[in-house]
Amino acid sequence: MQYQQPKKEFFRRTNYQIRVPTVRVIYGEEQLGIISTDEARKIAQENGLDLVEMLAHANPPVCHIIDYSKYKYELKIKEKNNAKKQREAQIELKELRLTPTVGEHDVETKLNHAIKFLKENKKVQFTMRFSHRELHHKDIGVQLINSIIERVDAVGAVEMQPAFNGNKLICVIAPKKS
């Protein structure tokens, strides 16, 4: 199990945590201008809201008069939706393994699997493993991989050209954008 760091809690200074003498205040869509922090805090309390420091490094700091708990809740929902979209956007990678001495029927089967995966919007990685003796005939493996690339050209595009990594020849094909 992988160690996960605890999430940092979102934090902005609010109400009496703001210690600067003057702030630029925004209330709703309206700018109230630069006023004293005490006066801005008083306006926020009269409306049952909070004075929240949004830009601490500005001169003077920019503060909004808002409901801080509602603001934190909306940020949490937005963060959750962004994480969900990010998970959905990730494309799965499927690996198909071959050897340079694979039979023609086996190549056809692997090709059918690759086409099915590409149509399901999944990337396909072809890994061709060479034994010690087969390493002397790398050209056979490269030819086989190139013929596979030509056959899946209708549904997939080469993302990573065939390249050797030790005794393996690796090629990644991504689904074509419709």
Query: What digits encode the pLDDT tens for the residues 125-159?
Result: 999 999 888 888 888 999 999 999 999 998 999 98
Query: What digits encode the pLDDT tens for the residues 2-41?
Result: 555 555 566 788 899 999 999 999 998 899 999 999 999 9
Show me where the domains of the chain are located: 15-87, 93-175
Q: pLDDT band at residue 178, thresholds of 50, 70 and 90?
A: low
- The CATH classification number of 93-175 equals 3.30.110.10
Tokens of 10: 């979102």
Task: Return the closest-CA partner of residue 170 out of 137, 124, 115.
Answer: 124
Architecture in CATH for domain 15-87: Roll (3.10)
Q: pLDDT band at residue 113, thresholds of 50, 70 and 90?
A: very high
Q: pLDDT band at residue 87, thresholds of 50, 70 and 90?
A: confident
Strands (E), 13-102: 22-27, 30-36, 50-55, 62-66, 93-98
Q: Do domains 15-87 and 93-175 have the same CATH topology?
A: no
What global pTM score does this model have? 0.51
| Beta carbons of 99 and 144 less than 8 angstroms apart | no
Task: Return the closest-CA partner of residue 17 out of 56, 66, 73.
Answer: 56
